[in-house]
Amino acid sequence: MLAAIRSAAVLGIEAYDVIVEVDVTAGLPAWTIVGLASSAVKEARERVSAALTNSGHSH
C-alpha cells in the first residue's frame, strides 16, 4: 500500500467512515475499484482519468 486517506460517506442522515487505500505498481495502466462500489463510484473512473490528464500527469 502506497497511501491511505480517511474520508466519509453520507447515506440519509448517517455518516460512515471510509478509508481509501492506494497502491502503485509497474505494469499496464489500469483502474480497479473493489468493495461495494455504487454505480456513481464506478463512474468516477472517467472523472479521475480526466483530472489526471488535465493536471499534466500521465495515467
**Residue 38, in any domain of the structure:** yes
**Residue 45, in any domain of the structure:** yes
**Residue 59, in any domain of the structure:** no
**Residue 17, in any domain of the structure:** yes
**Residue 46, in any domain of the structure:** yes
Tens of pLDDT, residue by residue over 22-49, are 777 777 677 777 776 677 777 777 777 7
Tens of pLDDT, residue by residue over 9-21, are 898 999 999 888 8
Number of domain units in the chain: 1
Query: Can you give the residue range of the structural domain that contains 42?
Result: 3-54
As a three-state string, the secondary structure of 5-48 is EEEEEEECCEEEEEEEEECCCCCCCCCCCCCCCCHHHHHHHHHH
